[in-house]
Amino acid sequence: MALKVVTMGEIMLRLSPPFYNRILETNSFDVSYGGAEANVAVLLSSLGIETEFVTKLPNNYLGEAALRYLKQNSVKTSFVKEGGKRLGIYYLEKGHGFRNSKVVYDREDSAMAIAKECDFDFENIFKGVDLFHISTITAMISDSTLGLTLEAIRVAKAMGVKISIDLNYRGLLSNYDKFYNIAKLMLKDADICFGWLEKTLPKDFKVATFDEEIDYEYFKTHFDYMRRILGVKNIVTTLRRSVFAEENSLIGLCYDGSEIRVSKEYNFKIIDRVGGGDAFAGGVIFSLLNGYSLEASMKYGVAASVIKHSIEGDAYSGADFSDIQRLATGSGSAISR
């Protein structure tokens, strides 16, 4: 029986100045489409898993273009709701050298932001589904999408569908206090969590980075809290070290209650950083659903993320699992003949 995954979120119009131009100075933008959950669906579909993306889109040319993008990537859209007046937009200015990338959101009152629980028949959506993936971004778009998110998770759990949560924090969408409390609600008894929460609300949000030494005690303390108190079964995450805007290092961690396992470290140049975390999530989900261990799945997820950094656009489309495996096992940079 074929594996099936449902993801739900907002797909947006992405506008980026060409090359490494700044928004303040450009007179043109490159156009693409993407969003956290849509990016995961695109990767999984490329790898042969049946995927369904749930969202709300306006009945105009931009909504139609976003829908076409999903269909071109073999993502099913049977439950996409039509309504609202606008598609969310984000402007991406790519960083270079010591100049960081910048994002400007224009998504207020988008079609997805005003989506309601009554727009979707979740019992029908989750029939025959193996896993439901969603990120905290969707819950933080609006009060309406928070209710929508929690209802979707509730129904999926009741129907025996595995739950995958990505803890994406966006400071331009919400303060960290709100994110922390929403994340705890979403994570209760989740099967897979991407990222982690500290036991108590920290004073400041910190980006997940690493230096020479990893503080395993720190991670074990908070991973154990997530398993014991929140009931999360499997925890996976990446840690990043930034040399320049276009040069990073990445490692992965995973925890299932026994011990923390770590991937090898990758050092790489970046063409497009956006969607790297979504490729990680997609790689892990694909591997777990196909019977790989948590450790192997984490390592394949990191490899997928590294490859995505070399691809322009939000999503790792046209993915081939053999490429991911070759990189994860140490032979991915050679020419395939």
| CA angle (190 as vertex; 189, 194 as ends), nearest 5 | 140
3-state secondary structure of 278: helix
- Position 7 scores a pLDDT of 99
Q: Is the pLDDT of residue 335 over 90?
A: no
Nearest alpha carbon to residue 43 among 264, 230, 313, 328: 313
Question: Cα-flanking dihedrals φ and ψ of residue 277, to 5°?
Answer: -70, -35
- Position 1 scores a pLDDT of 66
Structural domains of the chain ordered from first start? 4-328 (3.40.1190.20)
DSSP state of 172: T
DSSP state of 99: B
pTM more than 0.75: yes
In whole angstroms, how far apart are CA 133 and each of 28, 34, 53, 284, 302? Answer: 34, 16, 10, 12, 18
The pairing of strands 247-255 and 30-34 is unpaired
- Position 245 scores a pLDDT of 82
Q: What is the pLDDT of residues 15-68, one digit of tens each?
A: 999 989 999 999 999 999 999 999 999 999 999 999 999 999 999 999 999 999
In whole angstroms, how far apart are CA 72 and each of 69, 79, 156, 279, 308? Answer: 5, 17, 27, 18, 19
C-beta separation of 167 from 194 below 8 A: yes
Q: Is the pLDDT of residue 211 over 70?
A: no
| Segment among 140-144, 199-203, 286-290 with least mean pLDDT | 199-203
C-beta separation of 131 from 285 below 8 A: yes
Q: Per DSSP, which regions of the chain are E strands? A: 4-8, 12-16, 30-34, 50-54, 56-57, 81-82, 89-93, 102-106, 131-135, 162-166, 192-194, 234-244, 247-255, 261-262, 266-269
First to last CA, the chain: 33
